[in-house]
Amino acid sequence: AQVALLDRNSEAGQESKAALDEQFEAQRTVFIPCDVTDPEQLRGAFKKVIEHFGRLDIVVNNAGVNNEKDWESTIQINLTSVIRGTYLGLEYMRKGNGGDGGVIINISSLAGLMPAAFQPVYCATKHGVIGFTRSIAVS
């Protein structure tokens, strides 16, 4: 497998890549600094993955925060970026665009299945991820 890691925290991203490089060949991983809330950065990261590996087979949308005070950022990271990442994944994996199809995995939380005390925005975003994922799966 070949793995592209995206993170807005460059230090954490480099550490994750280094850990993978110890177990696998270094050329099988790439770290791309990316703020998933920035549409152009996210699209650019997808383009870099295609340029580096030549294809895209699996997308895992896993960015997440729990910050009720900065609730708008929580929505952007936890829900909007998942939606955008899903649509970009579909675009780049589409056979009409040179892809071979693929799989998209959207990570949510138990908070997406039940209420979470004192975490209404986080809970709403995770419910949103589940609803979006279920709906797009049957589309």
Residue 58's φ and ψ, nearest 5 degrees, are: -140, 135
In a domain, residue 92? The reply is: yes
In the chain, the amino acid numbered 6 is L
Active site residues: 122
Please tell me the total count of domains within the chain.
1
pLDDT for the residue 1: 87
Task: Give me the domain span that covers residue 68.
Answer: 34-137
DSSP string, 13-72: HHHHHHHHHHHS-GGGEEEEE--TTSHHHHHHHHHHHHHHHS---EEEE------STTHH
- CATH of residue 62: 3.40.50.720
Residue 45 CA: distances (Å) to CA of 86, 89, 93: 13, 11, 14
pLDDT for the residue 96: 87
Query: Which among 85, 122, 79 is positioned nearest to 6, based on CA atoms?
Result: 85
| One pLDDT digit (tens) per residue for the chain, 139 residues | 899 999 999 999 999 999 999 999 999 999 999 999 999 999 999 999 999 999 999 999 999 999 999 999 999 999 999 999 999 999 999 988 888 999 999 999 999 999 999 999 999 999 999 999 999 999 8
In a domain, residue 29? The reply is: no
In a domain, residue 4? The reply is: no
The CA distance from 108 to 38, in Å, is: 20
